[in-house]
Amino acid sequence: MQTLQTTSLRVVENQLFILDQQALPQEKSWLDASSVEALVGHIHALRVRGAPLIGLSASLLLALLAERGKSRDELAVALETLRASRPTAVNLMNNLDRMKQALWQDDFVPALVTEALRLIEEDKQLCDAIAKAGSALVKPGSRLLTHCNTGGLATAGVGTALGVIAHAHQQGLVSNVWVDETRPLLQGGRLTAWELGELGVPYQLIVDSMAASLMAKGEVDAVWVGADRIAANGDVANKIGTYSLAVLAKFHGIPFYVAAPRTTLDPDCPNGDAIPIEQRAAHEVTGVAGSFGAVQWAPDNARVYNPAFDVTPAALIEGWVLDTGVVTPEAVRNGFFRSSAA
C-alpha cells in the first residue's frame, strides 16, 4: 500500500501506526498497530478513538494484512475480531461491511486495498461537507459548547462537530468555544483543547458540571456534538454526558446540533434503546492515568458504573448535520433516517 498520513493514522512500508491519543497533549507518540491484537488493544485502551477513525483503522489493517499474504479465511476471522472491538460505534460495522464485500471478490487483495483507501478519501470529503453545511447554522459572534473530541484526531479529515466549529471560525463567526473536559477520560481537556489551540480557535476549558451555569447566564449560543450511532428514529448515542447537555440546552432554549457522517447512521436500529452501550473499566472512574502516571482517589473496593456512552432522544435535537446537509426534526419524524435519502 502507498504511504499514507492523516492526523492520527500513518501507513509506512506496509505497517500501520496510530497516534497515541492517550499520550496527548504532553507527548506525540506513534504506536505500531500492524496486527489485529495490537489494534484491538489500542481501541480498547482508547489510544485509537473516534467512531470514524476506529472504522478506518480497522479497514486499513485488513488491507495491509491481505498484502502480507493472509488467506481469505484468516482475513474473515480478523474482520470479525475487529468488528467486535467496539460495540457502540457503528462506523466500524459499516466500514467492515464494505471491506467484507471486497474480501469475497475473486481478486480480493487489490479489492481490499482499493476499498480501504476509498474509505479514507470518502471520510475526508464527508468531513468537509459536514463542516460546510454546519457552519451555515452558526451565527456571528457565537459562543459554542462542545463535548468530547470530534476533530481531525477522530477522523481522516477536519472532523465532524469540531470541523464545523473550525470552519465557522475561519468565517469569523465564533467568538469562543466552551470545551467540556469530558469525564472520565478527559478527551475534551486533552484532545479538543489541543486541537483548537493548534487551529487558533479561541476556547475556554470547563469541567462538565459547569455547562448548566453557563447556559443560565446566557453564555452559550449553541451546543455541537458528534455521534457514535444514529438510530432510525433520530436518537443518538454519543460520549457519556451528551444527554445531560441536550436536556440543559432544551430547558434554556439553546439549539443542540449533532454532526456526523452517513457512516454513523444505522437504519436497522429502531431507536436508542436498541443501541448497545459499552461498559468501561472501573479504574477510569476511581482515578486518572496518563503520560504523567496514575493516581487513584476512590476507595479500593468502590463499586463503579461506567458506561462509555449515553443516548440523546431525537426530541432534544435541533438538527442533524450530515455530509448530505442539515436534517430537520420534521424530516426525522417523517422517516428520513429510515429511507434511502439518508
pLDDT of residue 12: 95
Angle separating helix axes 36-44 and 51-67, nearest 10 degrees? 170
User: Beta partners for 119?
Assistant: none
228 carries an active-site annotation: yes
Angle separating helix axes 90-103 and 72-83, nearest 10 degrees? 170
Residues of the chain with CATH 3.40.50.10470: 137-338
Asked if the 137-338 domain carries CATH number 3.40.50.10470, the reply is: yes
Residues 208, 228, 310, 323: which is the catalytic one? Answer: 228
Asked if the 4-128 domain carries CATH number 3.40.50.720, the reply is: no
pLDDT of residue 321: 98
The angle at the Cα of 209, spanning 206 to 211, to the nearest 5 degrees, equals: 65
Calpha distance 214→210 (Å, rounded) = 6
Residues of the chain with CATH 1.20.120.420: 4-128
Low-confidence ranges of the chain (pLDDT < 70): 290-291, 340-342
* Beta strands at 325-327 and 319-322: parallel, antiparallel or unpaired: antiparallel
pLDDT of residue 89: 84
